[in-house]
């Protein structure tokens, strides 16, 4: 008779899958929000992590919390908008972790403003951080991914604003829609090497980026009312799907985007 594993065994089995492969993962924007939650979720299943952020204290705090899981964690101050530093920073991350077989681009800015008010500075900053950096970092990953071996994967953070328009987020919508285009192109290129590339499209998440919007009277309440699950997501609820896409459990998933928004875009245009 086939025995049914008890709950702890089943949990350990699931954790093992989510931690496979065990290569290191680079997480941009890892000093807070979705980036921090993702680094912690990966460390929880035994994957080493490299945390990049422009906030040195935030990056180091995340790294320290990851080390509590017994994994190697490397923190570095990296401005992803500066393409000239990316190559050496990727090499340093791979060296620090011993391998680099995963990448999550969680660094981002909101670039808030209508087309009436936007200027070149806001436009360039938003596109450079949210979009260009994703491609520029990935161009430096092929060598370490080859060294890390099968199972290497990328997850780019897009947004539901990459799927629909928002009058107040012209530059942000452009950047996040662009992320989906870049993801599909990279998925084809990386597949030639046996690697996968996907994207996650979060809805509203309780992160520092959204704090100014939540300060607007009634904004959060209206958003929760329109969302079928009737609440805002926490960062860890985005991190776990990202961890899945990086794992061997998603071994045949590439060129796809996963919407994690509590059902908001399933029932209404944002």
Catalytic residues: 172
CA nearest neighbour of 39 among 89, 80, 93, 87? 93
Strand 153-157 to 102-105 pairing = parallel
As a whole number of angstroms, the distance between CA 49 and CA 80 comes to 17
Centre a 10 Å sphere on the Cβ of residue 49 and count the other Cβ atoms it contains: 30
Residue 209 CB-density burial (10 A; 0-12 exposed, 13-18 middle, 19+ buried): middle
DSSP letter for each residue of 136-193: HHHTTTHHHHHHH-TT-EEEEE--GGGTS--TTBHHHHHHHHHHHHHHHHHHHHHHTT
E-assigned strands of the chain?
25-28, 49-53, 73-77, 102-105, 153-157, 196-202, 257-260
E-assigned strands of 60-99?
73-77
As a whole number of angstroms, the distance between CA 240 and CA 265 comes to 20
Strand 25-28 to 102-105 pairing = parallel
Contacts of 178 (CB under 8 A, 6+ apart): 127, 130, 131, 162
Q: With beta carbons less than 8 A apart as the criterion, state whether 43 and 11 touch.
A: no
CA nearest neighbour of 100 among 136, 49, 43? 49
């Amino acid at each position: 008779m086939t025995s049914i594993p008890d709950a702890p065994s089943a949990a350990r089995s699931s954790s093992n899958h989510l931690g496979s492969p065990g290569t290191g993962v680079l997480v941009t924007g890892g000093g807070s929000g979705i980036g921090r939650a993702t680094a912690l979720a990966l460390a929880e299943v035994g994957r080493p992590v490299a945390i990049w952020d422009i906030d040195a204290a935030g990056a180091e705090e995340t790294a320290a919390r990851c080390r509590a899981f017994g994994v190697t964690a490397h923190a570095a101050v990296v401005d992803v908008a500066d393409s000239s530093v990316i190559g050496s920073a990727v090499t340093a991350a791979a060296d620090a972790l011993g391998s680099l077989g995963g990448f999550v681009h969680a660094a981002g800015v909101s670039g808030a403003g209508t087309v009436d008010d936007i200027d070149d500075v806001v436009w360039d900053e938003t596109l450079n951080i949210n979009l260009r950096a994703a491609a520029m970092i990935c161009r430096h990953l092929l060598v370490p991914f080859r060294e890390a071996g099968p199972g290497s994967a990328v997850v780019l953070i897009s947004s539901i604003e990459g799927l629909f328009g928002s009058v107040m987020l012209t530059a942000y919508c452009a950047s996040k829609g662009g992320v989906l285009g870049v993801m599909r192109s990279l998925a084809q290129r990386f597949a030639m090497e046996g690697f996968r590339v996907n994207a996650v499209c979060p809805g509203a998440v309780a992160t520092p980026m959204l704090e100014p919007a939540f300060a607007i009277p009634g904004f959060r309440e209206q958003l929760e009312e329109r969302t079928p699950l009737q609440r805002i997501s926490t960062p860890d609820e985005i991190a776990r799907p990202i961890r899945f896409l990086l794992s061997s459990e998603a071994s045949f998933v590439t060129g796809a985007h996963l919407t994690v928004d509590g059902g908001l875009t399933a029932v209404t245009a944002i």
